[in-house]
Structure 1
């Protein structure tokens, strides 16, 4: 389907705006003088493709993990006195690779 971009345009060059990204366009030009319109148009040899601006995913850089580290305490347990029959909460911090999954309290 053809759409008219300019009518009665007198210059030798033009800029076509409002083209849609991702579409392909062909152009044809008719010439006109006082005797009338040309019988055949001049057709563009190649199409004009308006490229979409692509978003390129750049993944973040991660440090390589060393998987040979045994678990160790980074914050040791504190000495506590507990009264029989009451609850006690013990907390500590561990680090290791792979991540420490369970702790054993004895």
Structure 2
């Protein structure tokens, strides 16, 4: 005895807007296949692999650490720009300030990466 396929009852509606060009393309795809535009949209949306889910939201501590790293990076770039504009006799001091800022940035980034690894 042949198996009867169960046709799902479609009760939910989702409204989607398309540009005129997009709709013409959908209609052409539907006509080429002998199905409705709804079937084309359903197949494209449901029958395909979806993108990976978004990662969980970062906690406040991690956001704070990332902001600190950003501030340190900004300071480092500003110091380097000042070094470029400085007189030759001031370059050694500016270079040392940049070096120290870069060390702080590296430490902050290492801490941030360690927190990321720990959360996984």
Same fold (TM over 0.5): no
The structure in which a higher percent of residues are helix is 2
Q: Give the TM-score of the pair, scaled to structure 1.
A: 0.18
Higher radius of gyration, 1 or 2: 1
Q: What's the TM-score, normalizing by structure 2?
A: 0.17
